[in-house]
Amino acid sequence: MPSVPHSEDIGGVAVDDAILVSQSLRRLVAAGAIQALQPVRPEQVQPSSLDLRLGARVWQLQCSFLPGAQGLERKLGRLATAQYRADRDEPLVLHAGGVYLAELEEVLELPAGVRGRTNPKSSTGRLDVFVRVLTEHGFAFDTIPDGYRGRLFLEITPQSFHVAVRRGDCLAQLRLATGQPGLRAEELEARQADTPLCSWTDGSPAPVADEIPPGVLLSVDLDHQGGGSGPVGYMARRHMPPIDLARRNLPIGRYWVPLPPAGEHGHVLEPEQFYIFATRERLRIPPDLCAELVPFDATKGELRTHYAGFIDSGFGWADGDPQGGPGALLVLEIRTHDVPFLLEHGQPLFRVEFMRNEAHPDVLYGGSGSNYQMQGLKLAKQFG
């Protein structure tokens, strides 16, 4: 394998305490630090992340598991109940409630000092498909150790809908980092005061949450505070035909129940139902930053507030506007557990944290063909 660029040589720029951007990701592909059973496609490279593709082998499992010291192959031999082959032309249906494991096309041989994190893609989360990446001997999901060399696998659990997948579909994304790229509280407060990364509908900056690590607290819109009309959210229907990930313009009413503005009474969320809402706040991610949603604090209620946790550089950002433009809403994917839960307008749900990039990416989120740039309340791309 060619020698792998390291430290300030990765992408030709210094990368201490930073997220690697598109230029460096391509360079790592060229150097063999990111390999694939099928060549990496140009469209997989995002501003601050790399899309990961389903490979050919898929197993149905008795249960979820972590590989640990025994390793993935050994545990898979004990826990797999069936094996399938994913094809590029004929879709494979994964049934709601089933637990599946798929090999990924990408293989990593990371240089020392570079580690990774993975998240579901936005469309994956909006379809209520729960996915997590495993390494060959991993003790944690979605965590790629420093200098990792080996295969990647994807656990897939469709929850509301059956889904039809093909080899090459992208359900998860990888970001690579060195050091501690997160903005400190004082840096975030200065950015919010100067050119807000996250603002209320009147343009004023949302406050920085007094928590560690620092972030901006975001809340749910159940009353069209930012303008507009129509539903403020959607509830997933169950027992519907499979959703083919390659389809577009599927009928919304067949798969979703629209939810009207809630007024002062809020919406009561039913246990184990899946909902889509949007934030009151607008987010804009400039070229030098990217962001991540922090998991919901269980002390504030038994619900999960998102699946897709990573936000690429350029989301909601209008290049050329000194203030970054009006920004975009974040879509919230919510599932409540065990008991009904009253969700009220303006209720705080999660934090968004910001991380510095090693350099400005040579492509931004809005310029990479995204379906969700400058979005409002928006369902997955399969619904138009």
For residue 120, what are the CA distances in angstroms to 46, 170, 192, 277? 14, 9, 27, 18
Residues 147 and 215 in one domain: no
Residues 167 and 196 in one domain: no
CATH of the domain at 289: 2.70.40.10
Residues 15 and 107 in one domain: yes
Q: How far apart are CA 168 and CA 39, in angstroms?
A: 11
SS3 of 277, please? strand
Total structural domains within the chain: 2
Tell me which DSSP letter residue 28 carries: H
191 φ, ψ (degrees, to nearest 5): -65, -40
Of 77, 382, 80, nearest to 245 by C-alpha is 382
- Burial (CB count <10 Å: 0-12, 13-18, 19+), residue 35: middle
Residues 334 and 216 in one domain: yes
Residues 130 and 232 in one domain: no
Give me the pLDDT at residue 179, please: 94
Q: How far apart are CA 39 and CA 55, in angstroms?
A: 12
SS3 of 193, please? helix
Exposure string for 234-268, b = 16+ CB within 10 A, e = fewer: bbbeeeeebbbbeeeebeeeebbeebebbeeebbe
Flag whether 2 is in a domain.
Answer: no
Domain boundary residue, one of 143, 178, 213: 178
Contact 145, 177 (CB under 8 A): no
Residue 333, strand partner residues: 276
Domain boundary residue, one of 155, 178, 201: 178
Residues 155 and 17 in one domain: yes
Of 150, 111, 104, nearest to 2 by C-alpha is 111
Residues 206 and 304 in one domain: yes
Instruction: Enter the pTM of the model.
Output: 0.92
213 upstream amide cis, omega within 30 of 0: yes
User: Within a 13 Å sphere around the CA of 196, how many CA atoms are in the beta-carbon half?
Assistant: 19
Flag whether 377 is in a domain.
Answer: yes
Q: Which amino acid makes up residue 327? A: G
Flag whether 35 is in a domain.
Answer: yes
- To which H or E segment does residue 125 belong? helix 122-126
Flag whether 84 is in a domain.
Answer: yes
Domain boundary residue, one of 152, 178, 204: 178
Residues 121 and 52 in one domain: yes
Q: How far apart are CA 150 and CA 77, in angstroms?
A: 19
Q: How far apart are CA 334 and CA 331, in angstroms?
A: 10
Contact 133, 70 (CB under 8 A): no
By residue range, what is the domain housing residue 146? 7-178
Residues 222 and 268 in one domain: yes
Residues 189 and 174 in one domain: no
Residues 211 and 120 in one domain: no
SS3 of 273, please? coil
127 φ, ψ (degrees, to nearest 5): -95, 5
Residues 262 and 154 in one domain: no
Give me the pLDDT at residue 241, please: 96
Of 52, 63, 81, nearest to 152 by C-alpha is 52
- pLDDT lower than 50: segments of the chain: 1-14
